Structure 1
Amino acid sequence: MCGRFVDPNLRGTDFEISQTRIDPMPRRYNIKPTQDVLVVTKHAPQGEMARWWLVPSWHKGELRDWKAATFNARIEDAATKPTFRGPWRYGRCLIPTAGYYEWTGEKGSKQPHFITGAGNEETLWFAGLASRWNGVLTCTIVTRPANATVADIHTRMPVILNAEERDAWMAGSDDPEIGAGVQLRHHPVAKFGAASDGPELIEPEAAA
């Protein structure tokens, strides 16, 4: 799964990758579900903000009435789930990030870990799905079974795409193995709360 992540480092006047230009924005280090996150869509290749907790376009009632936990979508079955099958066909998006967090250990003493790319790349690209509900753009992060680089931390991971896979994803790829080859690294970080923020959150935890 992916329940917390970090904004990408958008330095300078523009961030440019794969012909996508994104304006700089204040950086956050503890993004939570229901907050607005940056997404890249076919309609907005320069990036736009979306609420991270997908609400399908057919939902009736108020936003608060949508109770299902839809901040993640499993790549194995998203195409057939009623909530996700519309966005799967028409709402592909990319979510740029510097990395994400997972926790290990028992409840009450869980250890957070920061997970990022194993190479020199500063930005990871999550596969996402977007849905516009009553004029509000919402999104979810697509997940898959964890590969060997993070399986010791969690059984699942976001679908993280290289340049070729990003193009395929946006074109509608149904390959369940997309993103399987990403190489990641992780380190434990100091425990932090829901309201915590700042670059210190991703620093390796000092040895005892």
Structure 2
Amino acid sequence: MCGRIAQSETRRYYAKFLDPDLLPREWIGGDTAPQFNLSPGRTALLLHMLNGKLASDYVSWGYRTPNEAAAKRKPWINARVEKALTGRYFRHMFRQGRMIVPGGGWFEWTVEDGKKQPWYISRKTNEPIFMAGLTNFQPYAQQEVEVGFVIVTEDAEGGMVDIHDRRPVVLEPQDALRWMDLDTPVEEAAHIAQSRSVPSSQFQWWRVTRRVNRPDPATNDQHLLEPAEYEQR
């Protein structure tokens, strides 16, 4: 599961960790305000390859089919790596819409004394995370369907299971680049997603304030990521 992320740096910051040689001289558009508590339904930064160059776009987090939209069902926000290639919802994205959702980390929740307790998860090193994602967004194309993205998830392992049994597929820069490259064969992309994720042992996690529980754009400051003592309320 991945239901909230932190995405507080600039496009250039994330891009330089992937490959400085791919960094365009100029990005079209600009950066948005830092997001320390970005929730589904809101617009997030995506990185993808376009004509052999690194590109960026801002796309809504969540995807639903036209029939689901007509029925007003909630969008999907994650795609299980086990079904992403073959499942009817996402297989067309797996072939044409592989991209990366960059960030500093993500949030998960436990229940303590009947209350939802948020945790923040990030790499132990001072590096961003590159989450494998899928989107039906197509640059420079007129699209008649809802446009959105999902984050690819896998089973958690080790101590991270105590926080949640699912986690995003996080890739090292070289694997992230191969994942984004639509010239990469689908079979290779599937192998990357299924076997190349950064292991849980490379992450750290800590309790954060319950203010994170409110997915309100106004609840958005860097103090949300700071370790918090157990809150009696």
User: For residue 88 of structure 1, what is the aligned residue in structure 2?
Assistant: 94
Deviations 1:75-102 (A, max 9, x none): 0011111110100111100011111100
| Structure 1 unmatched runs, 5+ | none
| Cα distance in structure 2, aligned partners of 1:105 and 1:140 | 25
Counterpart in the other structure of 1:194: 215
Corresponding residue number in structure 1 for 2:199: 181
Whether contact under 8 Å (2:12, 2:23) holds in the other structure is: no
Alignment correspondent of 2:41 = 34
State how far apart, in whole Å, the 2-side matches of 1:15 and 1:168 are: 14
Task: Say if 2:49 and 2:55, in contact at 8 Å, map to a contact too.
Answer: no
Matched pairs, number: 204
Q: 1:107 to 1:126 in 2, by over 3 A?
A: farther
Aligned to 2:178: 168
SS of 2:179's equivalent in the other structure is helix
1:99 is matched with: 105
Structure having the higher helix fraction is: 2
Change beyond 3 A, Cα 1:80–1:72: same
Distance in 1 (CA, whole Å) between partners of 2:134 and 2:72 is: 17
1:110, distance to aligned residue in structure 2 (A):
1.4
Separation of aligned partners in 2, 1:75 and 1:119: 25
Task: Normalising by structure 1, report the TM-score.
Answer: 0.86
CA RMSD of aligned residues (A): 2.6
Q: How does 1:52-131 map to 2 (within 5 A)?
A: 52-56=61-65, 59=66, 63=69, 65-105=71-111, 108-121=114-127, 123-131=128-136
Other structure's SS at 1:105 match: strand
1:8 deviates by 3.7
**Residues of 2 paired with 1:168 and 1:11: CA distance?**
19
Q: Please, which runs of 5 or more residues in structure 2 have no aligned partner?
A: 138-142
- Report the secondary structure of 1:150's partner residue: helix
Residue 69 of structure 1 deviates from its aligned partner by 4.0
Q: Is the 8 A contact 1:39 1:93 kept in 2?
A: yes
Name segments (4+ residues, structure 1) moved above 3 Å.
Answer: 11-15, 20-24, 63-66
Q: 1:20 to 1:54 in 2, by over 3 A?
A: farther
Q: Percent identity?
A: 26
Deviates more, 1:74-83 or 1:16-25: 16-25
